[in-house]
Chains A and B, each alone.
Chain A
Amino acid sequence: MSTLLSVKNLSIQFGGLKAVDSVSFEINKSELLGLIGPNGAGKTTVFNMISGFYCADHGDIIFDSENINKLTAAQVNHKGLARTFQNIRLFRSLSVVENVLMALQQRRHKGTFSDWFNSLFNTKAHQLTKKNLDLEARELLKIFSLDHHSLELAGSLSYGSQRKLEIVRALATKPKLLILDEPAAGMNHQETEELNKLIRFIKEKFNLTILLIEHDMKLVMNICDRIVVLNRGKKIADGLPKDVKCLPEVIEAYLGKKPV
């Protein structure tokens, strides 16, 4: 099994707080890795470093045998890494299909001279590209049965559908690795169940590698192939869900020490 992403000795400090301290882990191709830990453990900080929002003080992030540590968020995306957000960040007053189009078009229009020329003079080539992009977006929406909402504003969708759309939008950038930041946050039991199915489905369908941060233990234990546990910026466990669940360090991190 080959490694897609490997994080080595990653550290970052905010003022006096060492938010992440020498964390290392690896994700293999087409694996679903869960990253868990109690509040403030540094999970989202690790995410932000991987996706290019923070620059790590120490350590390396190797994606597809390239160091992506110093890249910006946009460049990280170009390498094939897409993410969603804990608090949904859709383009709320754009329609559903426009949201997907926005992500799709980044691959097609890179701002070359012919891009500008074609859109300024509305050439045949431009109309064709536009039509193809539109078709592609609608097909993608159809897979996730969001197509009958395609002209509604993204902000007017139900909470569950917004989550789904955010994942669809991330998929539209054609990633190799998808990072989901607490996708089940704010969802009820039934919605979480659907999300469970959705994540399995996209993993199969697009042959993706997924890194998942989650609080919902049931979801994590259900779908993850492997789990990494963080506490206070340090990695305390790494292994199969059923093994990690029983480790005393993990139980301690979540529930506290057993009184002696």
Chain B
Amino acid sequence: MRTIARRRFLQAALGAASALPLAAPWWRVARANGLGRARRLVVFYFPDGVAGRSQNGESSLWEARSAGGDVTLSELLQPLGELRRECVFLNGLTMGGTDEGSHPGGAKKLLTAVDGGNGESVDQHLARTVGRDAPFRHLYLGSAATQNNASGDKFISYVSAGVTVAPDDDPVRAFRRMFTGGTSTTPVTPTADAGASDAGAADAGVATDDNADRLAMETALADLNDLRGRLGTAERTRLDAHLEALREVSDRVLRTPTPSNPMTAPGDAGSTVADAGATRPPSMNCAMPSMAFSPPTGAGLAAPENFPAVLRAQIDTTVLAMACGLTRVGVIQGSQHTSELIMSRFRDTEMYDAGFDMRSHQASHYGARQDRSNRLFTDYVKQRRWWVSQFAYLLQSMRAVPEGDGTMLDHSVVLLCSEVSDGNTHSHSDMPFVLAGRAGGCITPGRVLEARGTRHGQLLAALARALGSDVRGWGDAGDGVLAGLLT
């Protein structure tokens, strides 16, 4: 039923569908129907808000201002520099009055726009609709996002009402999953497959059975359909999700490249992107991907000293996966709300202080006013600037990838977000959203969009529409698409 529907969609979208085999790689499809629309969405999340309007009423240190056709960056947004021309600064969006005032409440609403996370998040919606023909429908990577056995309310991606999925905090595992074909029998093309003693270690030197994965997937699908039949409507939500997951991997297995036919990028991303001598993006090569990341051992992945390197590796993997046409929807989660991340241990940053521990959430409660003599406040400012600098790195990486007549960033939508506005007041008003990318021409960046009091579900709806979804609104505020964003 669904397959038929999908095919019908493709045919309709492509017009001359008969010329295109139905098993075409998704990127050809996306190129064909993607004129004038965003090809992908990246969400970049950081915890514990920003120095917004303070408890004593001092004005926000976050919001950018319009200045005669240009944008004046705020103190916190300074690290964006000239990248401001790639961004739309959204001032004044609110997540709504109910459930106001908490970190978990904000994290639950951030991408669902529904109180209590009682709905699907927009990234998951896009993954299973416009992103469903990508080899990976959804990519959710984190740095220390699952640490301390984080409860599910620390995650921002909701597959269904009240149900979050966990991001993958392990860059090596994530990289392998994306770039080694994802199964043990698939030849591992040379990569930074640094997984020491994981299952991949068993890959080498075993005679492969080319049919085994396909047969396993077919059998699993048949077993699942049996089970669904036996249970009727019981556990239907869980089994529907399982079915979708099996279908996605099944599709992927069936198109797994053979060594003679390595998976190549969507043509315009190029299999080799860089120019000799120029500053290249790290090894943007879809035929032979590699990652510049040295995996720490043991507890190292969770150690604050390694946080920046892990986050950067996850950004790199996300950008590479998108450049190579592997996915259209990515969420990158730095840490988790009410974060215990000791940011003063990040070397070579303005926060660094070897002997002193300053945690994210600790700094966020800097007090009622913006007191420059209070270390909590000054460190909080530095921390927030660092998060913005990481977002800037993501944008730079995307802009370094040529795509079509421009760059990958031109064909993308990138959202910067956190679960509260001011970290001390926990306010859900004047949320710190920044949007980047031209969305394939749908968005004109380099400006400030004042939307004081508008519900942020309208922004999420606009993003979904920029990617080709037909939603008319998003979340519990009902219909409405943010005015003045899409052109």
Indicate whether A and B interact.
no
- Name B residues whose Cβ lies closer than 8 Å to a Cβ of A: none
